A and B are shown apart, each in its own frame.
Chain A
Amino acid sequence: MRTLLVLALTACATEDLVAPTVDDDPRLPALDINGTRLHVDIRGPDGAPAIIFLHGGPGGDFRYALELGDATAPGALVADHRLVFWDQRGSGLSRRHDRGDISIDHYFADLVALVDAVSPDRPVVLVGHSWGGAYAAWYLAHHPDRVRGAVLIDPQALTHSLYVEAGTAADFELFGEWLTDPLWQRTIISPDDHARADFLLASLELYRIPRFHNDIIAPLFRPGAVVFRDLAFRWFEDTPYDFTPGLADFPRPITILAGTDDEVLGYDFQKKQLPLFRDATLVPLPGDGHNDPVGVSARRTIELVRAYLDEVEP
């Protein structure tokens, strides 16, 4: 009994297993918009034109893409642009939300508010990876006057039929550890609050995803379990979504970068998405898996984004 009492008094909180969010740690840079508080990290000179990076997921965060902000890289983007990294609603170090506050409409409204907040007077360049690429495509289709240009890196399928065609990133193995470990762990640490659910999901994200063929496992701040479940898992699976209305009317050129090793959203798949745009160029990234362009190959990506900026910016 005495041992149990000591344990009850000294036990750690499961919150200690995951990084504090902007609500837990006021020192984190944050932006309050649209009824939420976002973790935002802006790099580059004040007053410079903005490049907004949109990370993958939904449910991921921007940590894996920080190499894009490398000030020492040839053609460094942060030399003459403000590179805006932000964790999308409910994920990374941004505020956690329960189910009612996580929806695709919230996400759309967040991006509109974010662009207005960080660049109220001039259009922005969007750089979106994976889900962030589709997110960027939705924005430029609906707010073309607010976008100077866009670089989409292995963008998520822009319609549900293409999503089905792309298939899953995992090879299904009933007895594979990547599946059995997360299934088993639920009875030891159950996903009954945000911290525990995020911790469980983080341990799942440390497995190599077979068909993405990433060179390394990407670092992350904190996966958003509610976002992952309600958007990445259920919404994409169940909703006959279509991000293409208005896309072909976007008047300026865009660039799609695609890893040749990514079996799901890589170069071969992006050939199918290319005709959805009026003026898009598809650039293969030899040897890159899904996350590599914003991680281990970020320097090459920076140079390609720089070449694109030279084309679209006056």
Chain B
Amino acid sequence: MRLAVIAICVASTAHATPLAPAADERIVYGELAFDGAPSTTIGFVAGVPRAGERLTLAWWTDATWVAGDLDIEDNRLRVGAGIDAFRTGRVRVRGGLAAASRATANTGYRARAVSTELHLDASVVVRRWAFQLETALEQTWATYVEPSSTYRELVYANAEAGWHAMTARTTRVGLAAGVRLGDVELVARAGWQDTGTIEFLPAVYASLGLDYRF
């Protein structure tokens, strides 16, 4: 039970797949992250009682918004599920799949994208501590882009609003560490984030999260 709880908490912040709560557990989590931009996430994880202790199936959902000036127009909504692919002793390998909607609004355009996230994480638990190697691939499938009037006036008058296919692919590889303090878990994670070949901004992500189970 204890191993499962720690693993859940490590996995339950923005970049990994929250997995394997015990059958009767619920978890809420919050996170401050540098997820591209500084962002805030709140989420909820629940185990699936019928799956049993060994299968550790869980579903989860969360909402993220960019912290800059409380910019809630830059947001992400996700819902996903994960399951243990391999489990022995203290080591677990977990996979997960999520559907996500991301939105942005800036001076140049507004956009909303529908994407999927595939996660594969390996974790090890040592007493109160848990460590995780995490990988993720996020692929947008359809994005509605609406150039702003400012963009049309100052950059390209013929830019038209419309749907675009596969406008972004983000891959992440990182490490996470969590420590349990009673019912609360502190989780830190950091890693490499690739968004494209002509990237000129930092290719990193990092976050600090807090989880509570009840």
Contact of B201 among A175, A176, A182 (CB under 8 A): A182
Residue interface mask A64-77, B partner, CB < 8 A = 1: 00000000000000
Contacting pair A202 B108 (CB below 8 A): yes
Interface residues of A (CB under 8 A from B): 4, 7-8, 10-14, 16-19, 174-177, 179-194, 196-197, 199, 202-204, 206-207, 217-222, 225-226, 228-229, 233
Query: Chain A nearest CB: distance from B141 CB in Å?
Result: 8
A232 to chain B, nearest CB (A): 9
Are B201 and A183 neighbours in the complex by a CB distance under 8 Å? Answer: yes
Q: Is the CB of A184 within 8 A of B36?
A: yes
B161 to A, closest residue via Cβ: A12
Per-residue contact bits, chain B 63-101, to A (CB 8 Å; 1 contact, 0 not): 000111101001000000000000000000000000000
Known contacts A12-B163, A185-B104: A175-B68 contact under CB 8 Å: yes
Contact check, A185 vs B155: say whether CB atoms are below 8 A apart. Answer: no
Contact A192 B196 (CB under 8 A): yes
**What are the 4 closest A-B residue pairs judged by CB atoms, nearest first?**
A203-B108, A180-B68, A192-B196, A229-B200
Most chain A CB neighbours (cut-off 10 Å) among B108, B140, B160: B108
Question: When the two chains form the complex, which single residue of A10, A194, A203 contacts B106, counting CB atoms closer than 8 Å?
Answer: A203
The answer to whether B200 touches A225 (Cβ under 8 A) is yes
Beyond contacts A7-B165, A186-B195, A190-B196: 13 other A-B pairs, Cβ-Cβ < 8 A, are: A7-B142, A174-B38, A181-B66, A186-B36, A186-B196, A187-B170, A188-B112, A189-B167, A192-B169, A192-B197, A206-B148, A207-B107, A229-B198
Determine how close the nearest CB of chain B comes to the CB of A193; give it in whole angstroms: 7
Q: Which of B104, B169, B200 contacts A233 (CB 8 A)?
A: B200
CB within 8 A of A17: which of B140, B142, B156? Answer: B156
Q: Identify which of A8, A12, A184 contacts B104 (C-beta below 8 A).
A: A184
Cβ of B16 under 8 Å from chain A: no
Say whether B147 contacts A17, CB under 8 Å: yes
* Contact indicator per residue, chain B 130-157, by CB within 8 Å of chain A (1) or not (0): 0000000010111101011011011110
The answer to whether B200 touches A191, judged by C-beta atoms less than 8 angstroms apart, is: yes
CB pair B102–A188 under 8 Å, yes or no, is: yes
CB distance from B33 to the nearest CB of A (A): 11
Distance of A7 Cα from B164 Cα, bound (Å): 8
B198 touches A177 (CB 8 A): no
- The answer to whether B159 and A17 have CB atoms under 8 Å apart is yes
Given A191-B195, A192-B196, A229-B198, A19-B69 contact (CB < 8 Å): no
Given A7-B142, A184-B37, A225-B198: A14 and B164 within 8 A (CB)? yes
A188-B113 CB under 8 A given contacts A180-B66, A181-B74, A233-B200: yes
Note all chain B residues with C-beta closer than 8 A to A219. 153-155
A14 and B200 contact, CB distance less than 8 A: no
B163 lies within 8 A of A11 (CB): yes
- Partner pick for A202 among B112, B155, B163, CB 8 A cutoff: B155
CB atoms of B145 and A17 under 8 A apart: yes
Residues A12 and B195 in contact, CB atoms below 8 Å apart? no
Residue-wise interface mask of B (181-214) relative to A, using a CB-CB cutoff of 8 A (1 in contact, 0 not): 0000000000000011111110000000000000
A233–B106 Cα gap in the complex (Å)? 22
- With A186-B196, A192-B197 as given contacts, are A180 and B37 in contact (CB-CB < 8 Å)? yes
Shortest B71–chain A CB gap in Å is 6
Assess whether B12 is interfacial by the CB under 8 Å rule: no
Contact B74 A184 (CB under 8 A): yes
CB distance from A229 to the nearest CB of B (A): 4
A199 contacts across to B, CB distance below 8 A: 108-109
Q: Is the CB of B142 within 8 A of A197?
A: no
How far, in whole Å, are A193 and B142 apart by their CA atoms in the complex?
Answer: 17
State the Cβ distance, A151 to closest chain B Cβ, in Å.
Answer: 26
A17 to B68, CA, bound (A): 26
Question: Is B168 engaged at the interface, CB distance under 8 Å to the other chain?
Answer: yes
Q: Which chain A residues border B158 with CB–CB below 8 Å? A: 16, 19
Residue of A nearest to B140 (CB): A188
Give the residue of A16, A175, A188 whose beta carbon is less than 8 angstroms from that of B143.
A188
Contact, CB under 8 Å: A11 / B164: yes
Contact indicator B38/A191 (Cβ below 8 Å):
no
B118 at the interface (CB under 8 A from A): no
Task: Tell whether B39 is near chain A: CB-to-CB under 8 Å.
Answer: yes
